A and B are shown apart, each in its own frame.
Chain A
Amino acid sequence: MASLNETGTTVRAPRAPWLTLKRRETIEGWLFVSPTLIGFLIFFLGPLIAVVFYSLSEWNLLSQDTTFVGLANYEDALTQNPDFWQVIRNSVIFAAGLVPMNMALALALAMALARPFRGVVFFRTIFFAPVVTSAVAWAIVWKFLLQGDAGAVNQMLATVGIDGPNWLREPNWAMAAVIVTRVLKMVGLNMILYIAALQSIPRDYEEAARLEGASEWQIFRMVIWPLLAPTTLIIMVITTIGSFKVFDHIYLMTGGGPENGTLVLAFYIYQQAFEFFEIGYASALAMIMFVIVLALTVVQLILRQKGST
């Protein structure tokens, strides 16, 4: 295209440079994300793809050879190995115990602590403290407290005449103990999420309901609980996924025992890979875990869609 210059003669417009503003933006954009992206590809996506291939091979680190075995590892897990189903059972029990307990306690604490009163900060600080504490420290201390007869918990129970069990050595009690102590560790996080949600509910709703003569319980049931639904959903999924990832807590408290009674999926993967060196089998387990977490996420997305329409 030609344009007029000030003397009225025409000048040819120079050809558009290669480095247009748009191209520049694209290049700059990719440069900005490239450190994250490259690292992500190498240390996350690559390994994720590798797991798929590992899971299709028989690969024991001790024997040093690899053979392609198709779905044999999955078959092994799902039909051959009795441990697998026990692990799944344990994981489900762990989640089924932890999630409702965590959420109910979190909501109760949040309801108690959402409004300011003297000492509210003190209590919030205490309930949240385990969240910032390392899981290792928390597990160590609780393991110490829950020892058989010498443990502080049982000694205290003894003073009121209760003969406490050897918490971490009896399968059912061990599961209960790891669940409860894990809830204590993590409930503060859900508590503050609930507090934030409660504080964002305008007081008008509650006051309107109160003017209409609703009881406290009715206000909770009919006003607060429905308004918390989106938060509840998110918390539920985060907590459920989190419960499937728990490793350090159980590794340190029970070591998966007694009698594999607390052996959960994350731990089982670790054990197969780094104690028994069954890389192929461990990778198949990892894929199964991936699918479980993916399914939970998809369920969340669907529920959230439904909730918003």
Chain B
Amino acid sequence: MTRLTVRNLTKSFGKIEVIRGIDLDVADGEFVVFVGPSGCGKSTLLRMISGLETISGGELWIGDRKVNEVQAAKRGLAMVFQSYALYPHLTVRQNMGFGLKVRKESPDEIERRVNEAARTLQLDKLLDRYPRELSGGQRQRVAIGRAIVGDPQVFLFDEPLSNLDAELRVHMRAEIAALHRRLGNTTIYVTHDQIEAMTLADRIVVLRDGRIEQVGSPKELYARPDNVFVAQFIGSPKMNVCPVEAIRSPLQRAGFSTGGATQAGLRPEHLRIVDEAEGILCGRVSISEYTGGGALLHVELEGAPVFLVENSGDDAPQPGDIVHLAFSGSDLHLFDAEGRACHREPELA
């Protein structure tokens, strides 16, 4: 069984604590994605799980084994690195078979497993090339191939696609998803690309400053963020947040109760431009950014804050136009003074 259990994990570099008590359970076969701003400790946490970084405190279990002090190679994991980390002096075949060779597998077995992995990843024709003779996408595939030949219990990925161009990234993302469906290994994947996180993850872990902000399925994080940070971190363009004070009267007029909330949030894609009669909020378009399918409007509301509004269709308002915005009550997010979500009473939902 390859559950992964993390209990109160901490890590300090000298005096600086970069991981501050992480608790997490990853189920067998689950695809978990770590996201968070740069420097929040995603890589460090992943490297602690992999064994490349020592653990300062807490416990790490893989299956039924506590592995805090088990060497990286003996944890039954495989890792795919951002820079691919292919050995430049070895061919693709040797790169992929290297770990097996170190583990003293028989040459026949190595051959068999390398070929199998190569077939899975369509690397058959590249086996005798050197890494420098491969394109970025091919190198990435070799790196993944190297990870799967060892038949690990858990896959770890640290921003595996960030060195690829946009098109290839979309393609490889789909390949990774397909691979996971086929192999079904427990997977932990670090990225700061939201779309990657949303499309790949069974569950997303949002990290900030070495702590978990929220864990949940992509839908949960999007629909019911626990706090302002997650609300703004998930979703693109990011959620509009303003003091409740600034829009209290329009909200009351529309019949939304704000309870004790001090901040209100609305996603740009949930704001519709409507006639004056239906409008809840009203503002002036200051900038209109054409995005192809529609336009992203910067709307200066009466109460001062600027809201982003996604407008589909060709008839985008021009800068200077007055627009009226409406939204449904279930899309209104309310947060208290500490930024925690105020879960509204059922009758309002």
A and B touch in the complex (CB under 8 A): yes
A: residues with CB less than 8 A from B are 1, 3-6, 11, 13-14, 16-17, 19-22, 24-25
Cα distance, A25 to B55, chains bound together (Å): 13
Given contacts A13-B59, A25-B54, contact A6 B64 (CB under 8 A): yes
Which residues does chain A contribute within 8 Å of B7, judged by CB atoms?
Answer: 1, 3
Smallest distance from the beta carbon of A21 to chain B beta carbons, Å?
A: 5
1/0 per residue, CB under 8 A from A, across B7-18: the answer is 100000000000
Q: Is the CB of A6 within 8 A of B3?
A: yes
Residue pair A6, B54 in contact (C-beta under 8 Å): no
Beta-carbon contact of A16 and B1 below 8 Å: no
Which B residues lie at the A interface, using CB under 8 A? 1, 3, 5, 7, 51, 54-55, 59, 61, 64, 66, 68-69, 71
Instruction: List, in ascending order, chain B residues with CB within 8 A of A13's CB.
Output: 59, 66
Assess the B69–A16 pair: CB atoms within 8 A. Answer: yes
9 of the cross-chain contacts (CB-CB < 8 Å) are A1-B59, A3-B59, A6-B1, A13-B66, A19-B69, A21-B51, A21-B54, A22-B54, A25-B54
Distance, CA A13 to CA B8, complexed state (A)? 14
Q: What is the chain B residue whose CB lies nearest that of A5?
A: B64
Q: How far, in whole Å, are A55 and B2 apart by their CA atoms in the complex?
A: 68
A21 and B59 within 8 A (CB) = no
CB-based nearest B residue for A6: B1
Could you say which residues of chain B place their CB within 8 Å of the CB of A5?
64
Contacts of B55 in A (CB 8 A): 21
Query: Which residues of A lie under 8 Å from residue B1 when comparing CB positions?
Result: 6
Knowing that A1-B7, A21-B68 touch, tell me 13 more A-B residue pairs with CB under 8 angstroms: A3-B5, A4-B5, A5-B64, A6-B1, A6-B3, A6-B64, A14-B66, A16-B69, A21-B51, A21-B69, A22-B54, A24-B71, A25-B54
Separation of A25 and B69 alpha carbons in the complex (Å): 12
Please, which residues of chain A bring their CB within 8 A of the CB of B3? 6
Q: Measured between C-beta atoms, what is the minimum distance from B347 to chain A in Å?
A: 38
By the criterion CB–CB under 8 Å, are B61 and A3 in contact?
Answer: yes
With A3-B7, A6-B1, A11-B64 as contacts: A20 and B59 at CB distance below 8 Å: no
Q: Secondary structure of the B side of the interface?
A: loop
A11 CB contacts on chain B under 8 angstroms: 64
* Complex CA–CA separation, A21 to B70 (angstroms): 7
User: How many Å from the CB of B56 to the closest CB on chain A?
Assistant: 9
Residues of B within 8 A of A21 (CB): 51, 54-55, 68-69, 71
- Given the complex of chains A and B, what is the CA–CA distance between A106 and B5 in angstroms? 64
Q: Report the minimum CB–CB distance from A164 to chain B (whole Å).
A: 59
- Interfacial chain A residues near B5, Cβ < 8 Å: 3-4
Query: Could you say which of A1, A3, A6, A17 contacts B69, with CB atoms under 8 Å apart?
Result: A17
CA distance A14 to B69 in the complex (A): 11
Residue of A nearest to B3 (CB): A6
| Residue on A nearest B61 in the bound complex, by CB | A3
B71 neighbours in A (Cβ, 8 Å) = 21, 24
Contacts of B59 in A (CB 8 A): 1, 3, 13
Is there an interface contact between B54 and A20, defined as CB atoms closer than 8 Å?
A: yes
In the complex, what's the smallest C-beta–C-beta distance from B219 to chain A, in angstroms? 27
Alpha-carbon separation in the docked complex, A16 to B3 (Å)? 21
Q: In the bound complex, what is the Cα–Cα distance between A91 and B51 (angstroms)?
A: 57
Complex Cα distance, B31 from A215, in Å, reads 67
Q: How far is the CB of A146 from chain B (nearest CB, A)?
A: 52
Q: Whole-angstrom distance between the alpha carbons of A138 and B246 in the complex?
A: 87
Measured in the bound complex, the distance between the Cα atoms of B7 and A19 in whole Å is 21
Which chain B residue lies CB-closest to A7? B64
Q: Min CB distance, A242 to chain B, in Å?
A: 38
Q: Please name the residue on chain B nearest to A17 by beta carbon.
A: B69
What B residues does A24 contact at CB under 8 A?
A: 71
Q: Which residues of chain B are within 8 angstroms of A25 by Cβ–Cβ distance?
A: 54
Q: Nearest Cβ distance between residue B69 and chain A, in whole angstroms?
A: 5
**How long is the Cα–Cα vector from A216 to B64 in the complex, in angstroms?**
75
Bound CA span A11–B65, Å: 11
Q: Is the CB of B66 within 8 A of A3?
A: yes
Which partner residue on chain B sits nearest A21 by CB separation? B54
| CB-based contact A20/B61 at 8 Å | no
Docked Cα-Cα span, A17 to B7, in Å, equals 18
**CB-nearest residue of chain B to A24:** B71
Distance, CA A6 to CA B4, complexed state (A): 11
Nearest Cβ distance between residue B27 and chain A, in whole angstroms? 11
- Chain B residues near A6 (CB-CB < 8 A): 1, 3, 64
| Centre residue among B54, B59, B64, B69 by max chain A CB count within 10 A | B69
- The answer for the CA separation of A20 and B7 in the assembled complex, in Å, is 18
Query: For the complex, what is the distance from the CA of A4 to the CA of B7, rounded to whole Å?
Result: 11
State A4–B64 Cα separation when bound (angstroms).
Answer: 9
Q: Which A-chain residue is minimally distant from B59 (CB atoms)? A: A1
Min CB distance, B153 to chain A, in Å? 14
Assuming the A-B contacts A1-B7, A3-B7, are A16 and B68 also in contact, with contact meaning beta carbons closer than 8 angstroms in the complex? yes
Whole-angstrom distance between the Cβ of B326 and the nearest chain A Cβ: 48
Q: Which partner residue on chain A sits nearest B64 by CB separation?
A: A5
Q: What's the nearest-Cβ distance from chain A to residue B10, in Å?
A: 13
Contacts of A14 in B (CB 8 A): 66
CB nearest to A11 among chain B residues:
B64
Interchain CA distance A279-B61 in the complex, whole Å: 65
Which residues on the B side are within 8 Å of A16 (C-beta)? 68-69
Q: How far is the CB of B348 from chain A (nearest CB, A)?
A: 38
Cα A5 to Cα B3 with chains together (Å): 10
In whole Å, how far is A6's beta carbon from the nearest beta carbon of chain B?
6
Q: List the A side residues contacting B61 at CB < 8 Å.
A: 3
Taking the closest CB of chain A, its distance from the CB of B205, in whole angstroms, is 19
CA distance A22 to B51 in the complex (A): 11
Closest chain-B Cβ to A18's Cβ sits at a distance in Å of: 9
Contacts of A4 in B (CB 8 A): 5
CB proximity of A12 to chain B, nearest CB, Å: 10
